[in-house]
Amino acid sequence: MGLQLESVTELHEVFANMQKAKGTVRDEGECTCCYSKSQKSWITDPQGVDWEAFYTHGTATVYGEGINARPAPEEMEQWTGKDGKNATFERSSTII
């Protein structure tokens, strides 16, 4: 589940409330996810559901970050599925 916030101020307020709640808060901080630049924090509720609080402040030309980051156009050219179910992905051996 996720809470998309409208400002850094709202993100800080939600983060403060997360820290008061029972549970471990995982502060992801600045990250690139789903072609967006965001700031994120996570907490797991008593039922075991992970909650994400995030503020998106820009776009990215890659999907993901670190070792898993891939340029968007090349990924889409190689994608053969129509949705997440039964989708296949063939990777080339070319390293960019």
Closest CA to 14 of 37, 47, 39: 39
Domain residue spans of the chain: 2-60, 70-96
Instruction: Check: CB of residue 54 under 8 Å from CB of residue 46.
Output: no
Assigned fold of 2-60 = 2,3-Dihydroxybiphenyl 1,2-Dioxygenase; domain 1 (3.10.180)
pTM of the model: 0.64
Question: Do 11 and 53 form a contact (C-beta atoms < 8 A)?
Answer: yes
Coil vs helix vs strand at 29: strand
18-75 residue pLDDT tens: 989 888 899 888 988 888 889 999 999 888 899 999 999 988 877 777 766 666 665 5
